[in-house]
Amino acid sequence: MSARVARAGWAWGSWGRRAASSHREPPPNAVDVAELLRDASSAEAGAQEAVARRPPAGCSVLLFPGQGSQAVGMGAGLLGFPRVRQLYEAAHRVLGYDLLELCLYGPQEDLDRTVHCQPAVFVASLAALEKLHHLQPAAIENCVAAAGFSVGEFAALVFAGAMEFSEGLYAVKVRAEAMQEASEAIPSGMLSVLGQRQSNFSFACMEAQEHCKSLGIENPVCQVSNYLFPDCRVISGHLEALQFLRKNSAKYHFKRTKMLPVSGGFHTCLMEPAVEPLVKILGTINIKKPLVAVHSNVNGHKYMHPQHIRKLLGQQVISPVKWEQTMHSIYERKKGTEFPSTFEVGPGRQLGSILKSCNRQAWKYYHHVDVMQTSVDPDL
């Protein structure tokens, strides 16, 4: 196996054998589809030299979408590619229900439930990697960085060889169940807001909190939970706070507001009850140093070591997703320097749209790996 493929880390099917795990509650019947990465650690230094010699135009970046990108029919465009059905069969064993059936046929309201859509987006994204590997293997071999939005970060880490598919999916299952339970405890949600230069998001959130207090709500939550691109934020919190912001959008110079199809105020302290179950399961998973740079949602920086991954994945649930900062970290370069090819791997094109608003030059080299329809087009 070449050093570059070893560095890519996905291993094309290392879905259950990378190393013995100390799982107290192991995912049942983890599947072994392909040979593990071999000699990855010894190959890494050579791979780094190869990457250093390649011009940016010869490199790639992979972006993995998060919750909210799900749609009935996703996965239909992937089933003709090698090992995708086996991937969904493995997911069935880990989750205990037929995820593929739900993704293909819905209903949408069931797919939108946090407990279902997080595993669905995770698996669809990694299945889309099979398509990308089949049509453009160089995009995998030449990958120099990866990032995932919220739950997409788990897919990025599996791709980078930091955790096995089965254990990553099991962690996502625990995360989704805990976040679903937390969201049901308090009526909350997420509001996408396109503002203007004069928009003061912090002030708007503060006034929304005061409004909630006037309604008798104790310790109301309303805060920026996603930094998407300049002047665009997602605000999470109590539903009453979000309704107040929508009603008073002109006062705060908001151009447009839209409620997101999620069930709770994610990436705020409202999700505090979900942290402990996730941290507990992460402590039982065999996490490795990523073989490709993976950027954390919490600060936009690269993960450095396994304990760093465990710590920040736990924090991520209650911390804002700093996606705009992550895009700057990945794509910032000297004027005149070429950009890598970027592939959004999974349902939807939201991350491509955000990239266009963050860095139009980088977006010119953007591609989407479609999960809805079968395609052999080199543009995916």
Assess whether the previous peptide bond of 273 is cis (omega < 30° from 0).
Answer: no
- Residues in the chain, overall count: 380
User: 376: which DSSP letter?
Assistant: -
User: 35: which DSSP letter?
Assistant: P
pTM, entire model: 0.88
User: 55: which DSSP letter?
Assistant: -
Report helix angle 152-159 to 306-316, nearest 10: 170
The pLDDT assigned to 327 comes to 98
Could you tell me how far CA 129 lies from the centroid of its own chain? 14
Three-state DSSP state, 284: coil
Q: CA 331, 159, 275 angle in degrees (round to 5)?
A: 90
Residues carrying an active site annotation: 150, 267
**Could you give all domains of the chain from N- to C-terminal order, each with its CATH number?**
56-184+269-369 (3.40.366.10), 187-260 (3.30.70.250)
Residue 220 neighbours by CB distance under 10 Å: 20
Cβ atoms 267, 320 nearer than 8 A? yes
Q: CA 313, 319, 321 angle in degrees (round to 5)?
A: 85
- Rounded CA-CA distance 123/136 in Å is 20
How do residues 36-64 score in pLDDT, each as one tens digit? 223 333 334 444 444 445 666 689 999 99
Listed in sequence order, the DSSP H helices in the chain are: 3-8, 40-53, 84-95, 99-105, 108-111, 114-135, 137-141, 152-159, 165-185, 201-214, 239-247, 272-282, 306-316, 323-331, 350-358, 360-363
DSSP H or E stretch at residue 259: strand 256-259
Distances (CA, A) of 1 to 18, 34, 90: 16, 13, 25
Around 50, how many Cα atoms within 13 Å sit in the side-chain half-sphere? 19
Distances (CA, A) of 7 to 11, 134, 159: 9, 18, 10
The pLDDT assigned to 11 comes to 46
The pLDDT assigned to 54 comes to 61
The pLDDT assigned to 184 comes to 94
- Rounded CA-CA distance 101/225 in Å is 32
The pLDDT assigned to 53 comes to 52
Which residues, other chains included, contact 90 with Cβ-Cβ below 8 Å and sequence gap of 6+? Answer: 15, 16, 30, 31, 33, 165, 166, 169
The pLDDT assigned to 357 comes to 97
- Rounded CA-CA distance 133/135 in Å is 6
Give pLDDT < 70 ranges for the chain. Answer: 1-57, 374-380
Cβ atoms 226, 321 nearer than 8 A? yes
What is the phi-psi region of residue 216: left when phi exceeds 0, alpha when psi lies from -120 to 50, beta otherwise? left
